[in-house]
């Protein structure tokens, strides 16, 4: 119990320290001053009242000090609050930076597909901005309350040690309650995480442009709205139960505190009447009782806040400290292995792969070679494993069994980022970024993009983007947009690097596909070009044109083309037919047609669609 708390506290303090040690030290100094203030005020009040009751005693000095302390009491909390906000923002910046760097640095895809890890990420993002500062703030608040408390406990001990017993007992009960409450609070947040995500998902569906067509056509608005509200009700029920516990626990705490204060006051007044206490002692007693209660509340609140923040901060630390989901190769004799230009080819050797232990095999003992400098095509029925194979080539996953070899070297022995820099890919489900047209191509090689979206591009980098667009056949489309390459390909955001707000443009599916192709072609030095359905959305003429350009581009390069349109793969050097996760056939177009197997049948079906053959002949 103690060790995780200490390690969480140490991690949060390290974050706070890195965010600016001066600010943190000032905050600690303020905490000390604020904690001392109530005790100082109580002693000064006692001094003033006692001198008031003593004829001839001078009042000037204690009254002056009391007035000065009053200024401090009024002013210090404001400064503390401001500084706490500053600390929170500074820590939040660092924590966020580290969190997103850790998420972006996860090399594989498996973690993103694991719902439990996804939940952790959601909770870590929730804790990210304020979690660590809440841990530090809670600890400081707790320490502040503890110091005030100690000052007053010492004071009460001088006046009447017996009064300490009920006061501290009430405090211990409240502290225990508050700890239970904060654990329950964090559990509630974690438990409601799934419901919150589903509620957010349905709310987004109802407002997203992408879903608007289907939502309207199928009349899904009512259904999604009802589901969203059902999730919201679940969330509300969770918060209601939390609220009730809060009322119960805090209410009991309040009643206990008030009882103790009332009993104490009765004792103090009776004793003073009997001459056992001075007026100053009574005022000190009243202030000390309130101060102990107040100090306890601050300690309880601080500890509760810290405890709660620590539970969420635990998720943050888990994500930031997670081991890479794909092991990186170790350096041998101080030198890291590097990925050499592809000269022989890529080989899949008895590759078996499934997405999870409980899921069926997507690839079953695949053996194939993608020779360097040649064009290889991958075809086959839906679900055959083509896209999965591409994901293994890019090393988003490691094979469950077998190996993928780059010029004979297992991909697991190569640095993954370096490997990916040698691959240009158009994915079947490529991204349409809500960025400008130029940036949408530029993301293919982040080195060409200025780090600040508002900064100007390097002239040479811009020329590379235009060159890629020319090769992908989208240059004319992009220059024809209202702001040319600067046009935002989205209507969600205003453009940020020029003043004309009315220029967001939505491209057609085929136009987007060409932009995605340009993105891949931007890596003109890539050893391997993977095109997963690069032309499915293109019209016949554009498809012909794009494939002609691609042929020129591929000439002498290694490429892997995946397509269901078999006419586009017929001139590949080798065609591999993947079906049910295994290689069904392999050969040139002519050889496969001659073989009369699956490829010949699929090709015949597609070809007959372009002829005037009667339907009954086409489908037999």
Ligand X SMILES: Nc1ncnc2c1ncn2[C@@H]1O[C@H](COP(=O)(O)OP(=O)(O)OP(=O)(O)O)[C@@H](O)[C@H]1O
Note the residues at the interface with ligand X (CB under 6 A): 113, 355, 359, 362, 382-388, 428
Q: Return the number of the residue (106 or 437) whose C-beta is nearest ligand X.
A: 106
Q: Return the number of the residue (135 or 531) whose C-beta is nearest ligand X.
A: 531
- 315 membership: H or E segment, kind and range: helix 279-320
First-residue to last-residue Cα distance in the chain: 72
Residue 49 and residue 280 in contact, taking contact as beta carbons nearer than 8 Å: yes
Q: 527: which 2 tokens?
A: 């050893």
Runs of H (alpha helix) within 105-192: 110-113, 115-159, 164-191
Residue 430 and residue 438 in contact, taking contact as beta carbons nearer than 8 Å: no
Q: Token match 């070809």: residue?
A: 607
**115-159 vs 279-320: helix axis angle to the nearest 10?**
160
Residue 593 and residue 599 in contact, taking contact as beta carbons nearer than 8 Å: yes
**60-104 vs 279-320: helix axis angle to the nearest 10?**
10
How near is the Cβ of 535 to ligand X at its closest, in Å? 14
| 3-state per-residue secondary structure call for 344-369 | CEEEEEEEEECCCCCCCCCEEEEEEE
Question: CA-to-CA distance for 284 and 372, rounded, in angstroms?
Answer: 88
Q: Return the number of the residue (288 or 426) whose C-beta is nearest ligand X.
A: 426
Q: Return the number of the residue (215 or 578) whose C-beta is nearest ligand X.
A: 578
SS3 of the chain: helix, strand, coil, percent, to 5: 65, 10, 25
User: For 531, phi and psi rounded to 5 degrees?
Assistant: -120, 105
Question: CA-to-CA distance for 168 and 84, rounded, in angstroms?
Answer: 29
CA-based nearest residue to 175, from 309, 5, 303:
303
CA 162 to chain CA centroid, Å, is: 53
How near is the Cβ of 356 to ligand X at its closest, in Å? 7
Question: CA-to-CA distance for 193 and 142, rounded, in angstroms?
Answer: 28
357: Cβ contacts below 8 Å, ≥ 6 apart: none
Residue 144 and residue 27 in contact, taking contact as beta carbons nearer than 8 Å: no
Residue 387 and residue 562 in contact, taking contact as beta carbons nearer than 8 Å: yes
Q: Is the dihedral of CA 6, 8, 11, 15 positive or negative?
A: negative
CA-based nearest residue to 136, from 14, 247, 230, 51:
14
Question: CA-to-CA distance for 184 and 374, rounded, in angstroms?
Answer: 61
3-state SS class at 564: coil
How near is the Cβ of 382 to ligand X at its closest, in Å? 3
Runs of H (alpha helix) within 371-415: 386-393
Question: CA-to-CA distance for 100 and 97, rounded, in angstroms?
Answer: 5
Residue 140 and residue 28 in contact, taking contact as beta carbons nearer than 8 Å: yes
Q: Return the number of the residue (243 or 383) whose C-beta is nearest ligand X.
A: 383
Residue 378: beta bridge partners?
A: 562, 576
CA-based nearest residue to 431, from 530, 504, 536, 513:
513
- 217 membership: H or E segment, kind and range: helix 209-217
């Amino acid at each position: 119990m103690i060790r995780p708390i200490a390690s969480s506290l140490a991690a949060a303090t390290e974050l706070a320290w890195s965010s600016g040690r001066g600010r943190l030290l000032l905050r600690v100094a303020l905490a000390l001053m604020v904690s001392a203030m109530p005790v100082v005020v109580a002693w000064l009040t006692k001094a003033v009242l006692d001198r008031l009751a003593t004829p001839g005693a001078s009042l000037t000095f204690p009254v002056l000090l009391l007035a000065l302390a009053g200024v401090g009491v009024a002013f210090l909390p404001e400064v503390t609050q401001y500084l706490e906000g500053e600390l929170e923002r500074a820590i939040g910046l660092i924590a966020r930076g580290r969190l997103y760097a850790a998420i972006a640095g996860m090399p594989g895809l498996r973690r993103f597909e694991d719902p439990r890890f996804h939940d952790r990420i959601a909770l870590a993002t929730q804790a990210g901005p304020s979690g660590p500062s809440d841990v530090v703030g809670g600890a400081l608040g707790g320490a502040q309350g503890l110091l005030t408390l100690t000052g007053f406990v010492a004071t009460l001990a001088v006046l009447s040690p017996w009064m300490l017993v009920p006061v501290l007992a009430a405090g211990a009960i409240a502290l225990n309650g508050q700890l239970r409450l904060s654990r329950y609070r964090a559990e509630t947040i974690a438990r409601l995480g799934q419901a919150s995500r589903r509620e957010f998902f349905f709310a987004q569906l109802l407002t997203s442009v992408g879903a608007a067509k289907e939502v309207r056509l199928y009349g899904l608005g009512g259904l999604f709205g009802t589901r969203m509200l059902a999730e919201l009700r679940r969330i509300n029920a969770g918060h209601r139960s939390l609220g009730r516990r809060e009322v119960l626990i805090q209410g009991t705490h309040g009643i206990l505190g008030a009882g103790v204060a009332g009993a104490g006051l009765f004792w103090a007044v009776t004793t003073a009447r009997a001459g056992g206490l001075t007026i100053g002692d009574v005022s000190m007693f009243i202030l000390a009782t309130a101060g102990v209660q107040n100090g306890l509340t601050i300690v309880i609140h601080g500890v509760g806040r810290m405890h709660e923040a620590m539970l969420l901060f635990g998720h943050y630390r888990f994500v930031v400290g997670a081991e890479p989901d794909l092991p990186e190769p170790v350096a041998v004799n101080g030198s890291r292995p590097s990925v050499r230009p592809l000269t022989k080819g890529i080989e899949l050797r008895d590759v078996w792969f499934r997405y999870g232990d409980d899921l069926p095999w997507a690839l079953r003992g695949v053996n194939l070679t993608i020779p360097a400098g040649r064009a290889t095509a991958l075809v086959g029925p839906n679900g055959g494993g083509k896209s999965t194979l591409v994901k293994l080539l890019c090393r988003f996953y490691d094979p469950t069994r077998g190996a993928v070899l780059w010029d004979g070297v297992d991909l697991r022995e190569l640095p993954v980022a370096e490997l990916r820099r040698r691959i240009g890919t158009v994915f079947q489900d490529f991204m349409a970024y809500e960025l400008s047209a130029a940036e949408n191509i530029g993301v293919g090689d982040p080195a060409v993009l200025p780090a600040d979206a508002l900064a100007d591009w390097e002239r040479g980098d811009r020329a590379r983007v235009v060159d890629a667009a020319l090769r992908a056949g989208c240059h004319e489309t992009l220059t024809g947009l209202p702001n040319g390459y600067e046009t935002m390909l989205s209507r969600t955001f205003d453009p940020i690097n020029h003043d004309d707000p009315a220029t967001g443009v939505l491209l057609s599916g085929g136009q987007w596909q060409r932009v995605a192709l340009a993105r891949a072609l931007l890596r003109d030095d890539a050893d391997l070009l993977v095109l997963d359905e690069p032309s499915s959305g293109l019209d016949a003429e554009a498809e012909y044109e794009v494939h002609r350009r691609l042929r020129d581009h591929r000439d002498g390069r290694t490429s892997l083309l995946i397509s269901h349109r078999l006419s586009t793969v017929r001139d590949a050097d080798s065609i591999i037919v993947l079906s049910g996760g295994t290689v069904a056939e392999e050969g040139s177009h002519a050889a496969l047609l001659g073989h009369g197997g699956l490829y010949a049948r699929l090709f015949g079906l597609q070809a007959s669609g372009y002829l005037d053959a009667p339907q009954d002949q086409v489908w037999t």
